[in-house]
Amino acid sequence: MISRPNMDRADRRNHRNRGAKQKHRMASSSKEVGPKKRKVTEELRSFQERWTINYFFVEFKAKPICLVCSESVSVLKEYNIKRHYETKHANKFDKYKGQLQVNDLKRKLSAQKQIFTRANSESTCYVKASYAVAAILAKKMKPYSDGEIVEECLETVAEILYPEKKKDFSNISLSRQTIARRVDDIGKHIEDNLKNRASEFIFYALALDESTDMTDTAQIAIFIRGVDAHFNKTEELAALYPLKDTTKSRDLLEVVTSTLNRFSLQLENLSGLTTDGAPAIVGKHEGLVKLIENEASKVGNTSLLNFHCIIHQENLCAKSLKMDHVMKVVVKVVNFIRSKGLNHRQFQEFLKSLDSEYGDVTFFAEVRWLTRAKMLKRVFDLKQEIQSVFESKSKSIPEFQDKEWVSDFAFLVDITSHLNEVNTSLQGKDHLINNLHDLVSAFQMKLGLWEQQLGTNNLTHFPTLSKQPDITLATTARYASLISDLKLEFENRFQDFKKHHILFSAFATPFSTDIGSLPGYLQMECCEMQCDAQLKEKLHQVGLEDFYRK
């Protein structure tokens, strides 16, 4: 049996629970049927002009702003605005009510806004200056810590020239960490812009170059060039990947595929591939070019053109000149002067004492193609001075006294200068492939002309050689043979360009191309173009690029 007290406590607990549940049901019922409260944002309150006169409030960006303390009131209600005024400003401004005081306070608020705007503008200028310095340091390949040196230089210059603005220069942040962030931001910005432009490419081409840096790390540089539907060209370095392990063609293919995926580029739109002569890239069966062609054919792209870098080919042709007996002596002379500090300083002082046109000799670097012509010309012009310095060191250069060797040296100076000119003209951005082909074809024609002229002892285009005494026909005939070998080397190395010269010609001169020589898929279109007088006139008016662009 249950005792009476225990039964009473149980009854009271059950009674309380029933009462709580009943109250909860009543509250829920009242919520369901009661009126719904409106939100402040739904009341569509508007600012009243009289609040400006009475309470010194104005509306700014849909918020009421106090003209006295510049604080804002969260709810646009007269009660809130009045309470703010009476609580904080009534004692001081009750006697100044009126339009005059309102105008004065408005002017003060406007001045405060201008101060904030000017401060924000100045801050933006400091950031822009920081980015500009970071971009220069990155282009010049300087360490990030050089930004601190630049900052110190700016402050020193400002202290001398503009002492009143020294603080402005000090506000430019150029610390190592800041420069690193700025360069990273610039890189991301360039990549984002390239991605945006790449999304509009209808066709694109890749240029690949594999090399090894001074730390023996293999790197592959991937350049991209594309055109959109309006023939706007984009040419940019897309990626530079270090290859820590092997550099097999499969490794290179992974890098190229990763780059294409990064820029959302499809193999269907790949029209051309330019590479260097590395075995892993140009291998006949397992080279990178062959692997890319296989991947492109899987998606229906069977018209992929591939070329060996035209500038690299030109340099290889230049190396075919059999003039090692001259180059070895010249390099030996330059290295003797430049490799030892004492010899170098004495040689420079000797040139100063003679008021020589040159103050030094150029250092020779095998990988820097354009330095060869300058170095040869400089050494040839300073033969006598170099001979004097060597004699002071009890050394001699017997080749400088050999007339035949000096004639060979003069010929090498002239032909290297010609090769240097064509190499320079092939470089730069925004060249069209037909222009490059024309430059090489023109140089091959020049080689044929020089061969004929040298065979008759005509030295018109060899100014250095023409100044040498006693140049015989037998000597120039030997040089004509060297020119002939060089011309043959150009013909052999540029065969991959020559086999496409019909397409290049059709692109550059569509109105005079032999239609019968064109591929079938171009013949009908070319027929229509050649019979369109307006298009022909347009080409003469706007030029080739704008003709295709418009």
Q: Is residue 376 part of a domain?
A: yes
Does 300 share its domain with 322?
no
Does 279 share its domain with 297?
yes
CA distance 431 to 233: 10
- Residues of the domain holding 265: 201-308
Which residue intervals of 69-212 are DSSP H helices?
78-88, 90-93, 99-139, 146-161, 166-170, 176-198
Does 342 share its domain with 411?
yes
User: Degrees (nearest 5) of the Cα angle 234, 236, 241?
Assistant: 145
Does 368 share its domain with 383?
yes
Does 279 share its domain with 414?
no
pLDDT of 29 reads 46
Instruction: Find the farthest-apart pair of alpha carbons in the chain and give their distance in angstroms, rounded.
Output: 145
Name the domain boundary from 498, 516, 540. 498
Does 469 share its domain with 393?
yes
Q: Is residue 30 part of a domain?
A: no
Q: What one-character-per-residue DSSP string does 41-96 give?
A: GGS-----THHHHHH-EEEETTEEEETTT--B-SS--HHHHHHHHHHHTHHHHGGG
Does 263 share its domain with 361?
no
The 3 state secondary structure assigned to 358-394 is CCCCCCCCCCCCCHHHHHHHHHHHCHHHHHHHHHHCC
User: Degrees (nearest 5) of the Cα angle 422, 424, 428?
Assistant: 125
Angle between helices 176-198 and 146-161 (to 10 degrees): 110
Q: Is residue 505 part of a domain?
A: yes
Name the domain boundary from 97, 132, 159. 97
Q: Is residue 105 part of a domain?
A: no
Q: Is residue 192 part of a domain?
A: no
Cross-strand bridge partners of residue 65: 58, 72
Low-confidence ranges of the chain (pLDDT < 50): 1-7, 27-35, 38, 40-43, 119, 342, 350, 353-360, 363, 367
Name the domain boundary from 132, 149, 184. 184
Q: Is residue 486 part of a domain?
A: yes
Does 303 share its domain with 341?
no
Does 536 share its domain with 488?
no
| Strand duo 218-227 + 203-212: pairing | antiparallel
Does 237 share its domain with 287?
yes
What is the pTM for the complete model shown? Answer: 0.67
Does 300 share its domain with 327?
no
**Domains held by the chain: number:** 5
Does 338 share its domain with 473?
yes
Cross-strand bridge partners of residue 60: 63
Q: Is residue 238 part of a domain?
A: yes
pLDDT of 370 reads 53
Q: Is residue 19 part of a domain?
A: no
Give Cα 137 distance to the centre of its chain.
14
Q: What one-character-per-residue DSSP string does 8-20 give?
A: HHHHHHHHHHHHH
